[in-house]
Amino acid sequence: MTQLQTVETHQEVRLEALFQGATAEEIVRGMVCDLFPGRIAAVSAFGPESAVLLHMIALADRSTPVVFLDTGKHFEETRAYRKLLIERLRLTDVRVVEPDPAALSARDPNGDLWKSDADACCRIRKVEPLHGALAEFDAWFTGRKRYHGGGREGLAFFERDAGRIKVNPLARWDARMIDRYFDDHSLPRHPLSEQGYLSVGCRPCTAPAADGESVRAGRWRGASKTECGIHTPVARLEPAQPEGAKPAARSASSNVFAVDHAVTRLERADANGHRGGVLWLTGLSGAGKSTVAMALERRLFDRGWQVFTLDGDNLRHGLNGDLGFSPDDRDENIRRAAETAKLMAETGVLVIATFISPLRVHRRTARDIVGWDFHEVFVDAGLEVCEGRDPKGLYARARAGEIPEFTGVSAPYEEPDAPELRLDTASREIDACVAELAAYAARVLAHGAPAAKRAG
Ligand code: SF4
């Protein structure tokens, strides 16, 4: 299971938040190098603007796979330009994907389906081949931009399409920015650009654009068709409200507006050598959450990490000191803890949060509040072992009826269905559990070498 697959809902919304304020280059680098290494491809038509995104990808990792859908109908100029860019950018994994010959002979034997049914032609020559080409990837880049119009005006940086993340790093770029990037990096132009082709697809379906026309005006000119079909429109979604969860708190004032920070999360990750995030340790009292957390905090701090343990008991001596253990108070305890963890993670810190958080809905609420880089860790020792340990004598008092609504005794604990990690502290030494958790944190949150170390 990939890291993304473990984040169940609305990854595109989480990514949008993670990359808030980031440049196109930062998005490309973050996706290629940190979040989806080996699991992301680019799809390029090697058209008049394609060199910009391909150049950014090559700077991040020139072995990133680039898929070219060879419909058999392309201009020779496009093939020549593809060859030129491959050499110039030193791309090492450009994959030329052709239509299925059996589909062509059955559905377009004369090669002129585009005249009678362009949608069917695009389906055979583009949509279906792309489906197979992307099968091994979790995410892909497109070069689409809002200024192209034709329904792209509201394009987001991140979409979800057929179970994959679709990334549009240049969504907010315009023609002037494209031109400047070409000039700044001395990139070669598509041979048809100087003939008025602003967007280039297949020869039968592409014409030059007249002065003042939009970029894609020459595509399928005279037809109502504006897209080939590989980009199905995907509505932007807000995170779903988990069943039974209370809505995350919003500002009570309609006159309060959030402002962007001057320092982005990626800059903080560059400085620290790891991203901020939250390891949310859940489990019964006595399972070893705090013991594991404090040992992990020490270990990672000694390795140079920005790390802090947000301990549930400690919070009840301060921020949550006014809360008891009724269902409403437990909900509020989790909400405040998650909001605090989120703020700390946004500063670049790895937060190790230790909260019994007994109900699945509690952890789901925390996940939705924190957003991206929330990792649920089940510290699992079983009730019998925890009660046998009883380090604070709480189980004995709960059994004696002195503590009402005690988790595991008189209040339920729902085990996680699919935590990112499960630590078996009943049968394994604490050191081994800490080592496993440290390795997990490094795997999912490490972010190259800290800037200070690189400079030194
Ligand atoms: S752009 Fe035209 S020729 Fe190319 S696949 Fe679509 S309909 Fe066929």
Report pLDDT digits (tens) over 77-131. 999 999 999 999 999 999 999 999 988 998 899 999 988 888 889 989 998 899 8
Residue percentage of the chain with pLDDT more than 70: 89
Question: Model confidence at 449, in pLDDT bands (50, 70, 90)?
Answer: very low
Reply yes or no on whether the pLDDT at 258 is more than 70.
no
- In three-state secondary structure terms, 423 is strand
Q: Does ligand 1 have an atom closer than 6 angstroms to the CB of 126?
A: yes
204 secondary structure, DSSP code: G
Residues 3/444, Cβ–Cβ less than 8 Å: yes
Q: How much is the pLDDT for 242?
A: 43
Long-range contacts of 201-206, Cβ-Cβ distance < 8 Å, separation of 24 or more = 201/45, 201/47, 201/74, 201/228, 202/71, 202/73, 202/74, 202/114, 202/125, 203/73, 203/74, 203/75, 204/73, 204/114, 204/115, 205/73, 205/114, 205/118, 206/75
pTM of the full predicted structure?
A: 0.59
Query: For 150-181, how does the pLDDT look when each residue is reduced to its tens digit (9 = 90+)?
Result: 778 889 999 988 778 999 999 999 999 999 99
Determine if ligand 1 sits within 6 Å of the CB of residue 448.
Answer: no
pLDDT attached to residue 239: 37
Residue 122 Cβ < 6 Å to ligand 1 = yes
Q: Which of 213-217, 253-257, 416-420 has the highest mean pLDDT?
A: 416-420
Q: Strand 158-161 and strand 164-167: pairing?
A: antiparallel
Paired tokens of 60: 């991040």
Average pLDDT over residues 32-57: 94
Distance in angstroms (rounded) separating the CA atoms of residues 42 and 53: 9
H or E stretch including 11?
helix 11-18
- In this structure, of 81-85, 258-262, 292-296, the range with the lowest mean pLDDT score is 258-262
Q: How far apart are the CA of 68 and the centre of ligand 1, in A?
A: 14
Per-residue pLDDT, 17: 80
Report whether pLDDT(7) > 70: no
Cα 54 to middle of ligand 1, angstroms: 23
> Which atom number of ligand 1 is nearest to the Cα of residue 114?
7
Answer yes or no: is the C-beta of 125 below 6 A from any ligand 1 atom: yes
From ligand 1's centre to the CA of 86, what distance in Å?
A: 24
The full set of domains in the chain, from first to last, is 3-205 (3.40.50.620), 265-455 (3.40.50.300)
- The Cα–Cα gap between 48 and 41 comes to 20
Would you tell me the crossing angle of helices 327-346 and 360-370 to the nearest 10 degrees? 30
Q: Rounded mean pLDDT of the chain? A: 86
Selection from 22, 21, 20, 87 nearest residue 58 by Cα: 87
Nearest-angstrom CA–CA distance, 321 and 56: 50
- Please enumerate in sequence order all residues whose Cβ is within 8 A of that of 204, keeping only pairs 6 or more positions apart, or say none: 73, 114, 115
pLDDT band at 448 (very low <50, low <70, confident <90, very high): low
Q: Is the CB of 121 under 6 A from ligand 1?
A: yes
Name which residue leads in pLDDT, 294 or 38. Answer: 294
Distance (Å, whole) CA 54 – CA 46: 9
Range of 7-11, 360-364, 442-446, 448-452 with top mean pLDDT:
360-364
Closest ligand 1 atom number to CA of residue 202: 4
Task: Return the pLDDT at 410.
Answer: 92
59-74 confidence digits (pLDDT tens): 999 999 999 999 999 9
Degrees (nearest 5) of the Cα angle 173, 238, 167? 35
Q: Among residues 246, 202, 195, which one has the least CA distance to residue 220?
A: 202
Task: Measure the CA–CA gap between 36 and 138, rounded to whole angstroms.
Answer: 8
What pLDDT does residue 4 have? 37
Among the listed ranges 152-166, 283-297, 395-409, which one has the minimum average pLDDT value? 152-166
Task: Using the mean position of ligand 1's atoms as its centre, give its distance from the Cα of residue 113 in Å.
Answer: 8
> What would the DSSP string read from start to end of 133-192?
HTTT-SEEE----GGG-TT-TT--SEEEETTEEEE-TTTT--HHHHHHHHHHTTPPPPTT
| Mean pLDDT within 178-191 | 96
Q: Which residue has a Cα nearest atom 6 of ligand 1?
A: 122
For the CA of 228, the closest atom of ligand 1 is: 6
Whether 124 lines ligand 1, by a CB cut-off of 6 Å, is no
For range 423-450, the mean pLDDT: 88
215: buried, middle or exposed (CB in 10 Å: 19+, 13-18, 0-12)? buried
Give me the pLDDT at residue 6, please.
Answer: 35
Reply yes or no on whether the pLDDT at 453 is more than 80.
Answer: no
Does the Cβ of 338 fall within 6 Å of ligand 1?
Answer: no
Does the CB atom of residue 357 touch ligand 1 within 6 A?
no
Q: Using one digit for the tens of pLDDT, what is the confidence trace for 208-249? A: 888 888 888 878 877 777 888 888 543 333 333 444 444 444
Compare 312 and 9 and report the one with higher pLDDT. Answer: 312
Out of 70, 75, 202, 224, mutate this one to test ligand 1's pocket (max ligand atoms within 8 Å of CB): namely 202
Please report where in the chains the tokens 């201009």 appear, as a residue. Answer: 75
Span 388-400, pLDDT tens digits:
999 889 999 999 9
Ligand 1: distance of its center to the CA of 204 in Å?
A: 7
Query: How confident is residue 3, by pLDDT bands cut at 50, 70 and 90?
Result: very low
Neighbouring-strand partners of residue 411: 407
> Residue 111 has which token pair?
């090669």
Tell which atom from ligand 1 comes closest to the C-alpha of 119. 7
118 Cα: distance to centroid of ligand 1 (angstroms):
6
Check if 204 has its Cβ closer than 6 Å to any atom of ligand 1: yes
- The Cα 335–Cα 339 span in angstroms is 6
- Region 10-38: mean pLDDT is 87
Active-site residue set:
228
Q: What are phi and psi of 107, to 5 degrees?
A: -110, -15
Is the predicted pLDDT of residue 254 greater than 80, yes or no?
no
Task: Give tens-digit pLDDT for 330-363.
Answer: 899 999 999 999 999 989 999 999 999 999 999 9
pLDDT of residue 395: 96
Q: Ligand 1 mean position to 334 CA, how many Å?
A: 54
The lowest-confidence range among 39-43, 100-104, 277-281 is 100-104
- Residue 311's alpha-carbon distances to 249, 352, 353, in angstroms, are 22, 8, 6
Radius of gyration of the chain (CA): 26
Tokens standing for residue 338: 């998650």
